[in-house]
Structure 1
């Protein structure tokens, strides 16, 4: 298979300072032991995943959270990668949406009812059973239900992705954006942000349009960044792959470098909108909502720090050209809505005075926090 030339990903804009949980090394050790105890994934896949510093990723997502929940997030992310890599991207089921849906439906039942006598000799089910019990142990019944509902969204979206993989089709940018809000599994982590800090966001605040929009914006930023950082790895695999750079090339007839610039412009515009919308809401926000927004910020920045430093994307055997620092200002001053119908409503929520660009909060080219 002929590979596209490697792309140089420039430093990207982030106004969010870095942070990591002080017990990150202990979390890493815990997840290694957990993955081995439950035999998550094949031996080869598990060995590979354990080199990706997933414990440090969780420690960046919840830098001030309860250690037992940071460990839960770490274990869960490794489990998700085992499903995504083992079933969807590298396994035969990733091209058989009907069969994949059946397998994931059974796993969803295990998450909903870990006591159900099914898939008893399946390592992935055993690991998910343990994760579900811990979510219920540390969280409220409503948070456990929200976690299961988000897992259903993730499963549904990867089946949708498998249908494109089966037919080797590239979705439209609007469809890809909608798919990416869920198939990046960001929504499954959001309930754990609350659990990690021991609070529960009220339904009144959770259901407000600005809060829903900010949550979707965080998913957009995290997954667009992931597409930038993972493109090198994905484009060098044999067979079909989905990435916003490929979608933009297909839909707009762009070169790889032009698609990279377009994707950065999109994520910068959403990042600016996220910060402005947050500033417009926080004055009237409860302490719980304020903490929720801080959690979204930590998730965004943690994904960035981990994405440019993890072996998963740096691929040292065939090095990706990823940045080692971030920039303090966006690449554009365009504050118009993106021409993506499924998300253009986000801009309607911004009060007119909030259209002023947010002040940067980190110095230009601030060096990344080293990955432990």
Structure 2
């Protein structure tokens, strides 16, 4: 489908280290004090496999840390942000407590979601530079508040009614920028601060986010419809007058356009093997590829779980 030697993954990695990490992650997930249905969904989602494809250069212990953090992120989104019994003010208060926490904060608190977050956050801080940890916390803050905005919009059927506005919000609310910011720490490279915010790197990052959002929304449309979540690219296209079949075709074409845009931008990036920019851009592609495979093969996208 794609040129210049870039292809989306067709199968996940498989080795004894991955199998051990997945077992360790499953045990850790089952021990979480959260809703049983959410816990089952997390276990069958094979988050460890996603992490292994998205962070292919991470050492085993760092890969497990990344997989735990992804699991927490998915759990917090499903267990807390989408929980209708919690008030808007309660959600904002909790997000503030997470967003402005300093490394080393005591994890001995009542909320399981907060307790686990502070434990993982402290582990990440031990391996991250000050600049890296700052980027992670900034992207986490943006992700949580954007997810809250998106959730409120979906419930009220207001706002985010254009593709551009939706994608701009989803770059944060999807947590993808946060996952990208974890790459340096997990994979052990340094992306210079001045490079990180260069326009061409920002354009690459945005294209990678958009590719993942389009892929997620297309594969998860049936699941989200069953859950009565009517906020997604296909829903927006349908609201613009397209039938579902036409919207699916349009979505597939847009996804390929975004992939080609990323590949074109990637060719202009640093080709110096081992440099921070080279490693970072490769990580963006790994995430696009890993997410595509994970979304197309993971049970929660195939069944209403």
Same-fold call, TM > 0.5?
Answer: yes
Q: CA deviation digits over 1:104-155, x for unaligned, max 9?
A: 1122234x344257x7011111110111011112222221121111100101
Q: How much does 1:99 deviate?
A: 3.4
In 1, Cα distance between the equivalents of 2:18 and 2:297? 15
- 2:28 matched to 1:31? no
- The alignment partner of 2:100 has SS state of helix
Once the two structures are superposed, the pairs formed by residues 135-150 of structure 1 within 5 Å of their partners are 135-150=124-139
In 2, Cα distance between the equivalents of 1:151 and 1:283? 29
2:242 matched residue in structure 1: 254
Q: 1:17 to 1:175 in 2, by over 3 A?
A: closer
1:157 matched residue in structure 2: 146
- 2:290 matched to 1:302? yes
1:332 matched residue in structure 2: none
Q: 1:98 to 1:175 in 2, by over 3 A?
A: farther
Query: Aligned match of 2:231 in 219, 235, 242?
Result: 242
- 2:95 matched to 1:100? no
Q: CA deviation digits over 1:164-211, x for unaligned, max 9?
A: 133123522221111111111011111221112211110121121000
2:73 matched residue in structure 1: 80
Q: 1:37 to 1:199 in 2, by over 3 A?
A: same
> Are the aligned partners of 1:27 and 1:59 in contact in 2 as well (CA < 8 Å)?
no
Q: How much does 1:70 deviate?
A: 1.2
Q: 1:305 to 1:295 in 2, by over 3 A?
A: same
In 2, Cα distance between the equivalents of 1:67 and 1:284? 26
Q: How much does 1:61 deviate?
A: 0.7
Q: How much does 1:286 deviate?
A: 7.1
Q: Gapped runs of 5+ residues in structure 2?
A: none
Q: CA deviation digits over 1:313-364, x for unaligned, max 9?
A: 011x69xxxxxxxxxxxxxxxxxxxxxxxxxxxxxxxxxxxxxxxxxxxxxx
- 2:122 matched to 1:129? no
Once the two structures are superposed, the pairs formed by residues 257-276 of structure 1 within 5 Å of their partners are 257-276=245-264
In 1, Cα distance between the equivalents of 2:226 and 2:159? 17
In 1, Cα distance between the equivalents of 2:236 and 2:81? 19
Q: 1:231 to 1:264 in 2, by over 3 A?
A: same
- 2:35 matched to 1:45? no
Q: 1:108 to 1:256 in 2, by over 3 A?
A: same
Q: How much does 1:234 deviate?
A: 0.5
> Are the aligned partners of 1:21 and 1:60 in contact in 2 as well (CA < 8 Å)?
no
1:54 matched residue in structure 2: 47
Structure 1 stretches of at least 4 aligned residues deviating more than 4 Å after TM superposition: 283-286
In 2, Cα distance between the equivalents of 1:147 and 1:284? 25
- 2:100 matched to 1:109? yes
Q: CA deviation digits over 1:244-264, x for unaligned, max 9?
A: 1001111x2111111111112
Q: 1:21 to 1:199 in 2, by over 3 A?
A: farther
Q: How much does 1:53 deviate?
A: 0.8
